Amino acid sequence: MPRKVVKLLAPVFGVLLLGACSGGVTGGDARPVSSSAAGTGNSDAGPLSGVPRVPKALDTARFQKEPCGVLTAAQLQALGVAAQGEPNTTPAPKCAWSDWRGASKMDFSVTIATNRDGLAAVYRNRRNFEHFEPVEIESFPAVLLGGKEVQQGRCDAEVAVTDRLSFSAKVALDDKSKPEDYANPCARAKVVAAEVLKTMKAAS
């Protein structure tokens, strides 16, 4: 992913990691999910009080090994994305697409957050975000969040796939061409997250 996007989106991810390590602003135990636990997706124990539970745990083991597989070629085409995904597994499985100059006019990444405890970390740190909007995406609990960067074409959709594991779909719209939905980037992040969920549900 281009440095500019990483620089602008890193604060959101950093806040969530800090909450996972320190317990966040509202307290509670934060237990990072191991790769094995995240893969099986046990949803027997709810995380933090008030955090929505998933309707059915999804198995993400395949996508932790091949993070760019979260979106099919057909889905990328429907999103208007021609760029190839660039995988990374540190500190968590992630795939990034750089398509600012393409038809989609966006850069985005999908990260399976195996290094924190799902949406509990997000809710624990909700006071740190200017934009915090609980939603459902494909019947799964999610949060659209960000700071001032939401007004700059950037948004993060955090989606629970088990009660201890979530993924993030971070979107950065081109600030030069400024597509029609530039002022509402969370709508685009929600669309990307929905496509990822469709892939994960089909594989579970």
pLDDT of residue 35 exceeding 50: no
**Residue range 77-101, pLDDT digits in tens:** 999 999 999 999 989 999 999 999 9
Range of the domain at 66: 3-203
Q: What is the pLDDT of residue 34?
A: 33
Rounded Cα distance between 169 and 13, Å, is: 11
Determine phi and psi for 72, rounding to 5 degrees: -80, 170
From residue 63, give the alpha-carbon distance in Å to each of 12, 71, 93, 108, 160: 22, 10, 8, 17, 15
Number of domains observed in the structure of the chain: 1
* Segment holding 195, helix H or strand E: helix 185-203
**Residue range 111-170, pLDDT digits in tens:** 999 999 999 999 999 999 999 999 999 999 999 999 989 999 999 999 999 999 999 999
Does the pTM exceed 0.75? yes
Q: What is the pLDDT of residue 50?
A: 84
Rounded Cα distance between 40 and 32, Å, is: 15
